[in-house]
Amino acid sequence: MTEPRSLGDWQPDRNLAMELVRATEAAAMRATPWIGRGDKNSADGAAVDAMRRFLSTVNMNGTVVIGEGEKDEAPWLYNGEKVGNGEGAECDVAVDPIDGTRLAAEGRPGALSVIAVADRGSMYDPSAVFYMDKLVCGPEGVGVVDIDRPIGENIRALARAKNVDVSDIRVAVLDRPRHAQLITDIREAGAGTRLIMDGDVAGGVNAARWDSRIDMCVGIGGTPEGIITACAVKALGGVIQGRLWPKDDEERERALAAGHDLDRVLQSNDLVASDNCYFVATGITSAEFVDGVQRHGPFVRAESIVMRAHSGTIRHVISDMDPTRWN
């Protein structure tokens, strides 16, 4: 057997992204019967099982570094688990079989199935600090926004860079009590808010896209979702900045013991050191940039987006599948 190589050495590595789509499609398809049924655990379990089985066929030697097991106490896709057929590139793998489990359970828009992959050892290890204060925007924000500044200053700076009025800026924020003052500050600055119930990854990706109605995504969300989002932001040429946000004293002490500087602002290259990374998402319920799983006559249609940072390539993939023969 030949020695596994890195993604950067693997040829033709662009095929990896198309293989990964099959895994996010599988997770989205298996979660679909649970949409709107109020049972997020069953939806997530079905998606995890399907994603894991399809990842076992992918030509890579992957290690899960951002896993489902620790986050949602799932028995599979845990941190350190080996995925892929073991014959391809050595890589870090981040998974979120359902980004927005509550959205799927309640039949709301915006639930995605997501995978990110990068060269082995290139994804940031948050040492079980599950939350991060984040700022995400598109290419116009490069060298313009700074998470250390007040939100009003960032909004005005981004409006100038985009040559629009402040009133045209829309900022996505998770609708949480912890963000009450942040939401007030955004509105007092003259911008509008897009309050999102869940879907941390989708919010960040929308903020970085040039054709989105969202200009910026801010606030405290998941650290794993931030690392996954960074893979997409690198492909889109946007900005992501984050700072670890321990939820209690115990988590703070663990972070300090692991050597983390809690004042440090993490940039995209800190979150994902490699430019050879992939972001793949399939819609479960319709999001702004991908439709959810839908029936079209005898077929079931899944829509996905595939991004590769190395080439800056963004592809939309539509798959029509016969559910009686789908595998």
- Which residues are part of a known binding site for substrate? 99-101, 131, 176-178, 198-200, 222
Q: What does the block give as tokens for 98?
A: 């359902």
Reported as type and span, the H/E element at residue 223 is helix 223-236
Q: Is residue 205 classed as helix, strand or coil in its secondary structure?
A: helix
In eight-state DSSP terms, residue 140 is: G
Distance CA(219)–CA(172), nearest Å, equals 9
CA distances from 47 to 19, 82, 108, 142 (A): 17, 18, 17, 35
| Binding-site residue ranges for Mn(2+) | 44, 68, 96, 99, 225
The DSSP string of 10-65 is -TTTHHHHHHHHHHHHHHHHHHGGGTTSS-HHHHHHHHHHHHHHHHTTSSEEEEEE
Distance CA(194)–CA(203), nearest Å, equals 9
Question: Residue 102, exposed/middle/buried by CB under 10 A (0-12, 13-18, 19+)?
Answer: middle
The 3-state secondary structure of 84-122, one letter per residue:
CCCCCEEEEEEEEEEECHHHHHCCCCCCEEEEEEEECCC
Distance CA(17)–CA(277), nearest Å, equals 9
Q: Which residue has the tokens 């987006």?
A: 305
In eight-state DSSP terms, residue 134 is: E
Reported as type and span, the H/E element at residue 133 is strand 131-137
